């Protein structure tokens, strides 16, 4: 049945009312007027929940939310609404990078946040929170800074033997508990734990986080096992920390699968980071044209690592490549067993680039045995499930945030098609290809030494 103009306007106003209930600050930025309403017509919508493509669909966006989705023949578009004819294009939910390490420098704020957006990455989980990140989030939410949605960890909590410079080192259980309390006071969304956290301090962090209602995630410290971390409630395990035995022992893998599923423990494998360390001797990395958008300090560091790779023994490259092979096999095994997989990159490591490398990660996930749909879910619907925000994120449905990526080709046919970006919608703001290209040009200029 065709919707009348009156009923459609009612839906638009209802969506704005819901937005006001869920996020009053955001609603104040988007009053109900025609300039704040957008229609994307005749588009193929990729349903990441069911794995199907819905052809010839029309979306109505009111402010920062999707107000309506339906067959184009049934949706009546009000006058004075901006209309984007997307015939021949494919629409997916905005992507998430679930392991980001964006720094707190001005270049990171000005360039790296935008690099996520131009690559269709409309959400990131920062894994080492700093005060600057909270300020950036406020600016993004206030519409004074273009950037993705940000979920922010505490500063990394580690033990005194930590090899990482920018972490909070705790000496005993009381300091561990204080660190968690301080993280909550600073507005952290969750607590991040790391390699050298001693056993008693790890469990002190766990207890305090639970007491305060915070989740905790990160590395599996050397002092505990992956099984213990999962049973303690660690929500995600990053990279493959604590999983070495499971990579080579089928029984160990099956045991962890059972425990991970029971405790709803997710894995964020960051395959692209592992892969790049294994092929640093490949000159192709240093010639990647996307490097022109990276900050000079990163490019200098990465080039140094490439130059030094000639001094690395041949057997070390064999070992690294074998590690990657085992880890990819384990990811495929976890996926088949329905252990939650999250797409993340660990940007800042050699040739791991904000925004761009999320697409590289999706390719590696498919090569590990995931279908294109499963890989796409790892960066869309799965993060929404992980955050318990399926009512706001992860799918193209009424009431969800209008974070979308318009593609020139179907990603369910070839996951590499996620790079064929025609436009990005971030929080209801439509950025067409020329807008994205203009942003890239500005970033390249800023990254070019003078």
Question: Residue 391: inside a domain, yes or no?
Answer: no
pLDDT tens, position by position, 170-179? 999 999 999 9
Residue 377 has pLDDT above 50, yes or no: yes
Coil, helix or strand at residue 44: strand
Same domain for 364 and 420: no
Model confidence band, residue 34 (pLDDT cutoffs 50, 70, 90): very low
Residue finishing a domain among 361, 386, 411: 386
Residue 106 has pLDDT above 60, yes or no: yes
Instruction: Check whether 150 has a pLDDT greater than 50.
Output: yes
Whether 155 and 259 map to the same domain: the answer is: yes
Contacts with 58 (C-beta within 8 Å, 6 or more apart), sequence order: 39, 40, 41, 42, 43, 69, 70, 71, 72, 75, 77
| Whether residues 120 and 224 fall in one domain | yes
Query: How confident is the model over 302-315, as pLDDT tens digits?
Result: 999 999 999 999 99
Say yes or no: 214 and 266 in one domain.
Answer: yes
Based on the fold, state whether residues 66 and 84 are members of the same structural domain. yes
Domain containing 147 — which CATH number?
3.20.20.140
Among residues 352, 386, 420, the one where a domain terminates is: 386
Q: What's residue 9's pLDDT?
A: 40
pLDDT band at residue 401 under the 50/70/90 scheme? very high
Two structure tokens written together for 297: 């300090």
The whole domain housing 412 covers: 5-94+396-447
Query: pTM of whole model > 0.85?
Result: yes
Query: Are 188 and 266 part of one and the same domain?
Result: yes
Q: Where are the alpha helices (DSSP H) in 337-432?
A: 356-367, 372-378, 381-386
Residue 146 and residue 68 share a domain? no
């Amino acid at each position: 049945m065709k919707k009348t103009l009156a009923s459609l306007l009612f839906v638009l106003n209802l969506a704005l009312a819901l937005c006001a209930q869920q996020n009053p600050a955001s609603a104040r930025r988007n009053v109900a007027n025609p300039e704040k309403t957008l229609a994307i017509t005749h588009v193929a919508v990729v349903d990441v929940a069911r794995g199907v493509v819905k052809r010839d669909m029309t979306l109505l966006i009111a402010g920062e939310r999707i107000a309506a989705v339906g067959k184009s023949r049934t949706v009546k578009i009000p006058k004075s609404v901006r209309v984007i004819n997307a015939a021949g294009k494919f629409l997916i939910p905005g992507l998430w990078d679930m392991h980001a390490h964006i720094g707190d420098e001005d270049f990171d704020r000005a360039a790296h946040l935008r690099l996520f957006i131009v690559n269709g990455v409309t959400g990131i989980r920062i894994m080492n929170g700093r005060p600057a990140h909270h300020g950036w989030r406020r600016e993004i939410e206030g519409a004074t800074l273009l950037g993705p949605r940000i979920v922010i960890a505490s500063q990394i909590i580690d033990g005194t033997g930590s090899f990482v410079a920018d972490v909070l080192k705790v000496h005993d259980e009381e300091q561990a508990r204080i660190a968690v309390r301080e993280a909550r006071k600073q507005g952290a969304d969750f607590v991040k734990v790391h390699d050298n956290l001693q056993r008693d301090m790890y469990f002190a962090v766990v207890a305090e986080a639970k007491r305060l209602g915070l989740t905790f995630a990160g590395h599996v410290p050397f002092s505990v096992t992956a099984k213990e971390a999962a049973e303690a409630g660690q929500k995600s395990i990053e990279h493959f920390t604590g999983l070495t035995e499971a990579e080579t022992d089928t029984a160990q893998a099956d045991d962890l699968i059972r425990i991970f599923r029971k405790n709803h423990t997710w894995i964020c494998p960051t395959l692209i980071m592992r892969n790049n360390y294994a092929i640093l001797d490949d000159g192709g990395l240093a010639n990647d044209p996307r490097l022109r958008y990276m900050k000079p300090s990163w490019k200098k560091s990465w080039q140094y690592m490439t130059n030094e790779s000639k001094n690395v023994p041949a057997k070390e490259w064999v070992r690294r490549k074998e590690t990657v092979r085992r880890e990819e096999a384990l990811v495929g095994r976890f996926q088949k067993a329905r252990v939650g997989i999250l797409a993340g990159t660990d940007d800042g490591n050699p040739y791991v680039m904000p925004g761009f490398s999320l697409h590289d990660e999706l390719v590696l996930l498919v090569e590990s045995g995931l279908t294109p749909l499963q890989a796409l879910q790892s960066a869309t619907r799965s993060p929404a499930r992980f955050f318990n925000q399926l009512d706001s994120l992860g799918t193209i449905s009424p009431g969800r945030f209008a974070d979308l990526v318009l593609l020139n080709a179907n990603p369910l046919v070839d996951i590499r098609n996620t790079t064929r970006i025609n436009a990005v919608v971030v929080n209801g703001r439509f950025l067409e290809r020329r807008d994205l290209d203009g942003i890239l040009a500005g970033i390249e200029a800023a990254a070019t030494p003078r």
